[in-house]
Every structure is written in structure tokens, then in C-alpha cells.
Structure 1
Amino acid sequence: MSQRIDVRSLVPEAYEGFLAVERFLHASELPSSTLHLVKLRASQINGCAYCVHLHSGDMKKEGESDERIWGVAAWREATVFTPAERAALAVTEEATRLADRALVSDEVWDEAARHYTDKQLATLVVAIAMINSWNRILVTTRATPHA
């Protein structure tokens, strides 16, 4: 499978906007480990091989264990995630699967609100929106991960 088009080179102005949001996310109060977990889980749900490869590699570089990286796919049963991380993963799943439920439940939101400040929750929402946008761009254009 070959890449259809290169969005970065064809519309660099739009791509730069995405990168600006990414810079904000990485400088935010949201824990880096949580940000990576969110990006990996949404990418798994969306079937974005490029992003799964990228974010699992980033997690490994930042010292995450193989058990935590592999456990993201089955996070509900895995015992290696904190309650806060589990809450962020639950919000990620519901927000990524809007077509299935058309909402993020109060139960899931309220659990996340027990672990994160309003500003962190707002950042989490932006992070989920961004990774879903990246996934849609990269899946649509058939971007392939670099070995």
C-alpha cells in the first residue's frame, strides 16, 4: 500500500496549525504519559498503523514498559494503569467512538473530573480531538509507518 498524497507538503499552512496544537499539548499540565496513552488508544481504535507505531515508539523512548504499551489495547483488564489514566482512557474511547454512542457518558466524564482539573480536562478533550484528526488524515492518505 502506498501513500496517496502528502498533506504536509501540499497544505503546509494547515499542517503547521496541527503542529502548533501539538506543541501546546506537550507543554501543557496534562501528564506526558497520559497524553501518550490517549494517542495510542485512539489510534488503535481508528486503525491508524502510522500513529500506533509512532506513539508506541515515543512511549518506549520515554521509558514506558512494554507491559504498559501492549496493555493499552486491553486497558480495562490490565493492572498497570493508575485510576487517573484509566479515566482518561475511558473518555478517549467514548469520545473516539461517538458514532457508536453519540455521547461521552456522565459516569465516564465524572470519573475523569475526579482525577483532573478543569484545565487538564479541557486539554484532554483537545488531545483526543487532535489524535482523531491525525488518524483520519493518515488513514485516509494511507500513510505508512517508518521502520
Structure 2
Amino acid sequence: MTARMNNPLAVLSEGMPAVGILNKAALSAGVPESTLGLVHLRASQINGCGPCADSGARMAKRKGETDERLFAVATWRETPYFTDAERAALALAESATRLADRADAVPDEVWDEAAKHFNERELAAIVLWIATTNFFNRLNVTTRQQAPQNWS
């Protein structure tokens, strides 16, 4: 499969500063970057975004994430590698990514569990991170962007 076009943000580069501002805001809230990385990876897996899943796993690995955890993100419920806070963030990421899967897209129990582990500012950052990840996933999947063949 080949890309249909360049990434839309490469074509309309004026949009990149806005994305940078969103990322900076999310990163400033105090949520561990490892948690945001897991959220990004899980949403990207759900959406079938090869470039985001690939780069997300590679970036997490560079920042010290373990193979066991990276390999198990898709099965986080059935593995012992994640904290309760990470599990709450992953559940929120799945619900917020799969909006059309149920009438109550993000059920109270998912939100309430996340709220046990994160304050309002941190929850805002996680929701913003999920939304930004989904934004990139949709750009990449729609235009058939590919993960790079060779990483240096």
C-alpha cells in the first residue's frame, strides 16, 4: 500500500504550530510521559494507524519503556504490567477512541476510575492527548501514511 498524498500537516504546515501547542499543554499537566505514551499507543492500535503505533512504541522504548509492557498494551487487562492509574488511562483511551461502539461512549465507571487516579488538570491532559492522537490517526489512516521502513 502506498500513501495517497503527503501527510496533510506536511502540505498545510501552518497547522503544525497548533499541534505543538496542544502537545505542550498536555505535557505540562504532570501526567507521566510513560502513561501518555501508553495512551497514544493504545489509541493508535485501535485505529490501525501504523505510523503512530510504530513511532509511539519506538519513542516509548527510547524513553525506557520495557518490551513486556509495550508488547502487552493491546492486552493490558490480562497482564500484570500496568499500574491501576495506567489501566484507568488506558480504559479512558479505549472508550474515547471507540465513541460509536456504545450509546454511552465513555461510561461513568470509566471516567470515575480515571478520576480516582488523576486530578482535573491531569484528566484534561489525558483527554487532550487522546483527542490529538485520534486526530493524527485519522490523518494518517485516511491518507494511507506508512511507518518508515528504516529507523536510524
**Cα shift at 1:133:** 0.5
Residue identity (%): 48
1:74-105 deviation digits (Å, cap 9, x = unpaired): 00001000000000000000110001014200
CA contact (8 A) 2:91 2:110 kept: yes
Tell me how far apart the structure 2 counterparts of residues 109 and 129 of structure 1 sit (CA, whole Å): 15
Equivalent in the alignment of 2:73 = 72
Tell me how far apart the structure 2 counterparts of residues 27 and 115 of structure 1 sit (CA, whole Å): 17
CA contact (8 A) 1:94 1:101 kept: no
Root mean square deviation of aligned Cα: 1.1
Tell me how far apart the structure 1 counterparts of residues 25 and 128 of structure 2 sit (CA, whole Å): 10
Aligned match of 2:140 in 135, 138, 141? 138
Tell me how far apart the structure 1 counterparts of residues 114 and 10 of structure 2 sit (CA, whole Å): 38
Query: Once superposed, which parts of structure 1, at least 4 consecutive aligned residues long, lie more than 6 Å away?
Result: none
Aligned-partner residue type, residue 33 of structure 1: S
TM-score (normalizing by structure 1):
0.95
**Cα shift at 1:11:** 0.7
Mean Cα deviation higher: 66-75 or 8-17? 8-17
Matched, 1:110 2:131: no
The residue matched to 1:76 in structure 2 has which SS?
helix
Tell me how far apart the structure 2 counterparts of residues 122 and 19 of structure 1 sit (CA, whole Å): 16
**Cα shift at 1:36:** 0.1
Aligned match of 1:129 in 128, 131, 151? 131
**Cα shift at 1:9:** 2.7
CA contact (8 A) 2:27 2:125 kept: no
The residue matched to 2:106 in structure 1 has which SS?
coil
Tell me how far apart the structure 1 counterparts of residues 29 and 116 of structure 2 sit (CA, whole Å): 19
Equivalent in the alignment of 1:31 = 32
Equivalent in the alignment of 1:50 = 51
Tell me how far apart the structure 2 counterparts of residues 105 and 9 of structure 1 sit (CA, whole Å): 36
Equivalent in the alignment of 1:87 = 88
Equivalent in the alignment of 2:63 = 62
Equivalent in the alignment of 2:2 = 2
Structure 1: gaps of 5 or more residues: none
CA contact (8 A) 1:60 1:66 kept: yes
Structure 2: gaps of 5 or more residues: none
CA contact (8 A) 2:43 2:94 kept: yes
TM-score (normalizing by structure 2):
0.92
Aligned-partner residue type, residue 44 of structure 1: Q
